[in-house]
Structure formats: C-alpha cells, structure tokens
Amino acid sequence: MNSQQKELFRLALLRVFAANKTRFGLGLEAVCHFVAIFGFASPDREVAADAIDYLARKQLLEEVPNPVTPENRLWRITGPGIAFLDERG
C-alpha cells in the first residue's frame, strides 16, 4: 500500500468505527468486513491490525476491554477521532 492508499484505508477504518454507536467496540474481523463498504474488500488482517494500532497510538481509537475473550481485541473511536472525521467532512 502506498501512502495515499494507507491514508484512505485509515480514514475508512475510522468511518467504520464511527458508525458503531454503541459503547462496545468492534473486533478485527468485523472491521475487515465493514471496510469493504469503502472499497477495501478483503483487506489483509495484519495490515488492518497495524492500521488500527497506529490510529490507537494517535488516540483516534481506543481499545475496549474484552473480559470474556481478552485475546479478541476490540476498539472504538474516541472523541478526538470523531472530531478528526468531522473536520474532514
């Protein structure tokens, strides 16, 4: 993925998380499924996980505790993540 594709993919991920209006997060499989709406059909799971971790380090996403199965990580969008998307239209 070149830098422009990475940016578009990260924005698509943020939009997927923004569409989840619950307090519960989304897991990697769900995100990879829903990101197809934005033209990224069947993304590589490792690429998606790296992009999610990047967005979390930038505090645009946050990890949500999963007490039932901790190895199945979950994330949700943060206030700054929503504001970032709002600025971009």
What is the end-to-end Cα distance of the chain in Å, rounded? 24
3-state helix, strand, coil in the chain (%, to 5): 55, 10, 30
Tens-digit pLDDT profile for residues 59-78: 999 999 998 899 999 999 99
Residue 89, pLDDT > 80, answer no
Tens-digit pLDDT profile for residues 1-60: 899 999 999 999 999 999 998 888 999 999 999 999 999 988 999 999 999 999 999 999
Please tell me whether the overall predicted TM-score, pTM, comes out greater than 0.85 for this model. Answer: yes
Domains, the chain, with CATH or none: 3-88 (1.10.10.10)
